Structures are given as C-alpha cells and as structure tokens.
C-alpha cells in the first residue's frame, strides 16, 4: 500500500506543479468562478431588493446553489482535464506503461480536484461573505459535511465516466468533458425545487445523487434539518454509480487497448 501512496502522491505533485509553473493556469482557477459569483450574486441582490422577505431567502438559496454547483463542476473537470492533460502533452503512453495503476491515477485526480475545489470554495465563500453578507458555513452548519461529501462523490463519478470516453475517442471527446455536466445540471434541481419540474422529469431527477444534495441544501437554508433519507438515498445512488462508472472506465480502457485506439490516442 505504501507503494500506491507514493505513486498517487507523485501524480498529485505532477498536477500541482503545473500551477507553480503557469501563472495563467493558476489565475484561471479562480477567475471564472469569481466572475460567476459577481454576476449571479448581484442578481440575487436585485431579487432581494424586490421583496426583502421570501425573495431574500430564495436569493441566498440561489447563491448557495451556484457555489455547490461549482464544487461539482470543478471536481468533475479535475478528473477529466487531468486525463486530457496527458493526451495534450503526448504523455498518455508513458503513464500507461509505468507502474502506476489506473485506480491510483484516478485517486490522484480525486485529491487534485478536492484541493482545487477547496481553494475555489474558500475564495467564493469569503467573497460572498464580504460582498453579499452570505455565510455558507453558518447557514448550513454541520449539514455542510454530508452534503459536500455526496456532491464530491458524484463529481468524481462524472469525471470517471467522461475520462473513459477520452480513452476511446481521444480529442474527439473533448467537447463532451465540458458539456456532460451541463446535461446533468437541469435535472439536479440546482437553482429550483424538484416540484417545478414535470412529473416524468422528477422521476428521472430522483435517480441522480446530486438532486438530493441540492434539495437538502434548500431545506437546511429554510431552517429545517437535513432529512436522513436524503443523505442515504444520495449515498446509495453514488455507490451504484461509482461501481458502474468504474466498470465503464476499465471496459473502455480494455477496448481501446485491444483495438489499438489507445496507442493512437496517446500519439496523436
């Protein structure tokens, strides 16, 4: 196990060094999330000015949803962009012929994504508190832990699934790594309650772990406790999706290796 930790930490350092050597890459890490915060944050201020009571509560729920969505999106991107990074730099074959195991590579991207999202979330919550007097931790309390935990799991699951597509299609799948999370967004009830959707869409949404996170977040902000069934439903679905995403990743890897597409992807 110590060998695995060494290899995981080596890959983690490899991705962290990219930020040390590239100032634009580091600035880009926080630029878009901060711009989104200002755009949507001032929109929530406008909503609050129209009706200070209920509209103010809805505005903060909207702002909280934006921060939570960024956690999901950035962690999914950390996994897939790390794989894409190896393709861009023609380093994929070097990774695959090294002693590094596939699960160790993925574990390194998970940790990398967690560190990135921790920095981004810290910046966003700090700015939200200073500019909009919005206290993320104070509003959610200890419920923040199970909510973010399930959100991270689902983000990594999406990352594994989209990374699998990269192993098979290479550059051709690049658009998918940006677009797939936004296919999930409208079904996850990020900015609105589940009840506003058509009944058949609600049935689909209840199959996503992220839906229970965002629904639970709004309940907590409204002063209610986080329902235990929301946590367990999200955790159970995450477990099923994690097994499916892991099997899909290894299946796509085996198919790409057998057909030779993996070699061509690594040399394009």
- Of 253 and 139, the one with more pLDDT: 253
The predicted model gives 20-49 an average pLDDT of: 75
Q: What is the pLDDT of residue 137?
A: 58
Comparing 48-52, 90-94, 120-124, the range with the smallest average pLDDT is 48-52
For 177-185, the CB contacts below 8 A with 24+ separation are 177/77, 177/80, 177/81, 177/84, 181/72, 181/73, 181/76, 181/77, 184/158, 184/208, 184/210, 185/69
Query: Other CB atoms closer than 10 Å to residue 77's CB: what's the count?
Result: 21
Q: What is the pLDDT of residues 168-227, one digit of tens each?
A: 777 677 777 778 888 888 898 888 888 888 899 999 999 999 999 999 988 887 778 888
Q: What is the pLDDT of residue 204?
A: 92
For residue 108, give its domain range: 2-267
Q: What is the pLDDT of residue 243?
A: 94
Say if residues 73 and 180 touch (Cβ distance below 8 Å).
Answer: no
| Residue (of 166, 185, 157) closest to 241 by Cα position | 157
Q: How far is residue 241's CA from residue 148's CA, in Å, rounded to a whole number?
A: 17
Say if residues 67 and 137 touch (Cβ distance below 8 Å).
Answer: no
Q: What is the pLDDT of residue 135?
A: 67
Q: What is the pLDDT of residue 157?
A: 93
Q: What is the pLDDT of residue 175?
A: 74
Rounded to 5 degrees, φ, ψ at 135 are: -105, 100
Indicate the number of domains in the chain.
Answer: 1
Q: What is the pLDDT of residues 94-146, one digit of tens each?
A: 787 888 888 888 888 888 888 888 888 888 888 877 877 776 655 677 777 88
DSSP for the chain reads: -HHHHHHHHHHHHHHHHHHHH-HHHHHHHHHHHHHHHHHHHHHHHHHHHH-TTHHHHHHHHHHHHHHHHHHHHHHHHHHHHHHHHHHHTT-HHHHHHSS--HHHHHHHHHHHHHHHHHHHHHHHHHHHHHHH---HHHHHGGGHHHHHHHHHHHHHHHHHHHHHHHHHHGGGGHHHHHHHHHHHGGGTTSSS-GGGS-HHHHHHHTTSHHHHHHHHHHHHHTTPPPPHHHHHHHHHHHHHHHHHHHHHHHHHHHHHHHHTHHHHHHH-
Q: What is the pLDDT of residues 53-76, one digit of tens each?
A: 555 566 677 778 888 888 888 888
| Residue (of 1, 7, 19, 148) closest to 78 by Cα position | 19
| Residue (of 116, 89, 106, 115) closest to 28 by Cα position | 116
**What six digits make up the tokens of 161?**
């699934």
**What six digits make up the tokens of 29?**
């890490």
């Amino acid at each position: 196990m110590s060998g695995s930790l060494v290899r995981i930490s080596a890959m983690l350092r490899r991705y962290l060094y990219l930020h040390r050597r590239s100032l634009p890459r580091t600035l880009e890490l926080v630029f878009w999330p901060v711009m989104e915060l200002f755009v949507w944050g001032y929109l929530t201020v406008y909503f609050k000015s129209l009706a200070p009571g209920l509209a103010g509560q809805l505005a903060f729920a909207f702002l909280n949803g934006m921060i939570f969505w960024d956690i999901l999106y950035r962690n999914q991107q950390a996994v897939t962009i790390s794989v894409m990074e190896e393709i861009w730099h023609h380093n994929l074959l070097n990774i695959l012929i090294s002693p590094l195991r596939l699960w160790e590579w993925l574990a390194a991207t998970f940790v990398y994504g967690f560190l990135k999202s921790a920095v981004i979330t810290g910046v966003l919550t700090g700015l939200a508190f200073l500019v909009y007097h919005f206290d993320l931790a104070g509003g959610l309390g200890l419920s923040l832990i199970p909510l973010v935990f399930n959100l991270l799991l689902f983000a990594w699951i999406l990352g594994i699934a989209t990374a699998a597509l990269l192993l098979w299609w290479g550059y051709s799948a690049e658009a998918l790594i940006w677009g797939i999370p936004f296919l999930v967004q409208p079904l996850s009830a990020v900015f609105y309650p589940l009840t506003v959707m058509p009944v058949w869409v609600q049935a689909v949404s209840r199959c996503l772990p992220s839906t229970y996170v965002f629904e639970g977040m709004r309940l907590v902000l409204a002063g209610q406790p986080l329902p235990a069934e929301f946590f367990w439903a999200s955790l159970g679905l995450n477990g099923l999706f994690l097994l499916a995403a892991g099997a899909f990743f290894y299946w796509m890897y085996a198919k790409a290796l057998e057909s030779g597409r993996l070699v061509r992807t690594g040399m394009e």
